[in-house]
Amino acid sequence: LIGNGSEYQLSSVSPTLESIVLQDSYRGKPVTQIGEGAFRRASKIEEVVVGKYVVEIGSMAFFNCGYLTKIELPDTIETIGEAAFQACKLLTEFTFPSKVKTASKSMFAYCRELTTINFNNVTAIDELAFSGCSALTSLELSDKIITVGKGAFRDCTALETVKLGGNLKYVAIQAFSDCSSLSKVIFSDSGNFKQIGDSAFRNCTALTSVTL
C-alpha cells in the first residue's frame, strides 16, 4: 500500500509463476507501480500483462527473467527503471509506452534475442541500455532521439546497419564499440548533430561506410 494509502504497488510474485495478468485494482484501489525487483525471483515467468493504471516500473523489475517472451504494457506508464529487463534472454521485441522518454541504464542489456525495438517517443538512450543485444541486426533511431549514451549498443555483435535520426545531437563514448558486424552508419543531414564520443565505433572491424 503506497501513496498515503490510496494505491497499491506489486512488490513481489511467486517464483513458480509462469504467467500473470496484473489486475487494474486491488481491494478497490488502483495498482500503479511494479516495484523494484518485483519479478526477480520469478525465473519461470513467460507472459506478463500489466494493468491499465500502472505508471512506473521499478529498477530490475524483470531482471534475469530468462523465459519471458511476451509483455503487454499500457500507455499509462511514464518511467521504467534501470536494468528493468536486463538478461531477459528470450524477449524478442519491445514497444516503449508513449509516455516513456528514456531508455534507462542497462534496461535491455544482454537481451540476446531482442530483434525489434519501437522507440515511440523516447528522446534519450542511456548508458548500456542495449549492450550485448547480440541478435539485433539493424537499427533506425527515430527523429525524437537526442542522445545515445555511453556503451548504449556496445557488443551488439550482429548489428550491421545503423541509421541515426534527424534530431540526434550526441553519440557518447563507446556507444557502438565492439559491434563487429557493423558495416554501415548513416547520420542525418539535418545539421543538428554535434559530437561523437571517444571510441564510439571502436573495434567495428566490418565498418566500410560512414555518412556524416
* Per-residue pLDDT at 191 exceeds 90: no
* 127-148 residue pLDDT tens: 999 999 999 999 999 999 999 9
Which residue reads 530468462 in cell numbers?
A: 66
Local confidence band at 19 (pLDDT 50, 70, 90 cut-offs): very high
Prediction pTM value: 0.95
Local confidence band at 51 (pLDDT 50, 70, 90 cut-offs): very high
* Per-residue pLDDT at 166 exceeds 90: yes
Residue type, 76: T
Length of the chain: 212
* Per-residue pLDDT at 41 exceeds 90: no
* 146-155 residue pLDDT tens: 999 999 999 9
Which residue reads 541515426 in cell numbers?
A: 164
Q: What is the pLDDT at residue 149?
A: 98
| Nearest Cα to Cα of residue 69 among 107, 18, 16, 139 | 18
* Per-residue pLDDT at 168 exceeds 90: yes
Q: What is the pLDDT at residue 212?
A: 84
